Amino acid sequence: MLVSIPFGIVAVTTIGLAVLWAFVAHRWMLNPGGFPVLTWHSVSDDPAWLPWATETSVTPQTLDRQLTSLRAIGCKVLDTDEFVRLRVAGQTIPPETVVLHFDDGYLDNWVAAAPILERHGVRATLFVSLDFVAPDGPVRPTLNDREEVTWQGYLNWREIEALDAGAFSGAFTIEAHGVAHGRVPISDRIVDRLSESNWRSLAWMQWAETPGDKSHWYEWPAPPAIPIGSPVPESGGALAARAFQDGKREAEAAFRARVRRDLTACVDAFITHLGRAPRIFCWPQNLTAPDAHRLALELGYEATTGGGGANRPGEDPRIISRLHVGERVLGLRCPWADDLFFRASIRAFRGNYYWYLPILAMSSFRRIVRAVQRGRAR
């Protein structure tokens, strides 16, 4: 026998369940307490020398707008050292706090980023890799000078020393980013082959076979060590994964020794050039392993990057989680979209997950644009 339920009861029940679901979902979508550590790389008007510029370079104008946005939405910039100290001590950090990082030690960080940071009155941490520090030379012109500037290349030690000593009103503190920014094979699986079109974007293969100074690698006319046609193995971060070589996996003790050498080399170089040991270690490609992090702490580093969280209370305070910053989020130049994405990313990282809706929409649009661009390039 069928029982007839009045429409009014059905409607009220449906609305009630919808309201309950919305209330529960709303509580899940708001989870405050994250602290964004914003991470840039290149800041350049001419980044074409970098094969990965599309993903890692912003224009000086974009950086300027982004720092203006931080002020507009009430963000307060804190030094990495102070951020780590407060977290380790379990002290309260103002909820509007953000931290600024720049990776890889590109010359354009001296040319453009430092003057822009100075103009905005904020400080950042700059992570340099030893093999990519340019040979000694004079400090080069910046956007503050009337001379023509150079965009290609890496910082030299004079520029690094000047920044660490307080140039540009203390815009940058220098910290360690390893030696060779490398990768290692992690299996015998072949994922590609070197070609004229990809060997620069796969430069890690040449770097691995080119010990020492790599600061002018982008000027190589041809692969100097691994020839075109060579197989490209599956790879992982050199300081995050045990290497696979000659048909076997690197022993754990050998991996730890390799990581220790890298960490120690940074300590020695910093003491020689800056008169102090590095305090923060930034893992290349943000890839690490528990053993590597423990080794860094044993050697006196106060914290490392490589976190996958949001720097919340309860997370390991000596592991820093970061948020990559870029531009052309739609796959083409659109400043208003870049600004919206930047603000949305900060708010989502802090715990307002509603902001993932525009982030996902713009990311999907970018994938479509990139697919069209690849199709036209064929």
What is the average pLDDT value for the chain, to the nearest integer?
94
CB 369 within 8 A of CB 361: no
pLDDT at 267: 99
The C-alpha atoms of residue 187 and residue 232 are separated, in whole angstroms, by: 11
pLDDT at 9: 55
Is the pLDDT score of 232 beyond 60? yes
Q: Where are any strands of DSSP class E within the chain? A: 37-40, 42-43, 57-58, 76-77, 97-103, 124-128, 172-176, 183-193, 231-237, 244-245, 248-249, 280-281, 303-307, 319-321, 323-324
**Given pLDDT bands bounded at 50, 70 and 90, which one contains residue 154?**
very high
| Mean pLDDT computed over 257-277 | 99
**Given pLDDT bands bounded at 50, 70 and 90, which one contains residue 11?**
very low
CB 234 within 8 A of CB 186: yes
| Mean pLDDT computed over 278-294 | 98
Is the pLDDT score of 10 beyond 50? no
| Mean pLDDT computed over 9-16 | 48
The C-alpha atoms of residue 248 and residue 209 are separated, in whole angstroms, by: 19
Percent of the chain with pLDDT over 90: 89
Q: Where are the domains of the chain?
A: 37-177+251-377, 183-245
CATH assignment of 37-177+251-377?
Answer: 3.20.20.370
Is the pLDDT score of 21 beyond 60? no
Place of tokens 């994964």: 241
| DSSP single-letter state for residue 166 | T
In this predicted model, what pLDDT tens digit does every residue of 30-85 receive, in sequence order? 999 999 999 999 999 999 999 999 999 999 999 999 999 999 999 999 999 999 99
Number of H helices, E strands in the chain: 13, 15
Backbone dihedral angles phi then psi of residue 305, each to the nearest 5 degrees: -85, -165
Which sign, positive or negative, has the C-alpha torsion 58, 64, 67, 69?
negative
Is the pLDDT score of 1 beyond 90? no
The C-alpha atoms of residue 97 and residue 63 are separated, in whole angstroms, by: 18
Percent of the chain with pLDDT over 70: 93
In this predicted model, what pLDDT tens digit does every residue of 155-184 receive, in sequence order? 999 999 999 999 999 999 999 999 999 999
| Mean pLDDT computed over 275-303 | 98
| DSSP single-letter state for residue 45 | S
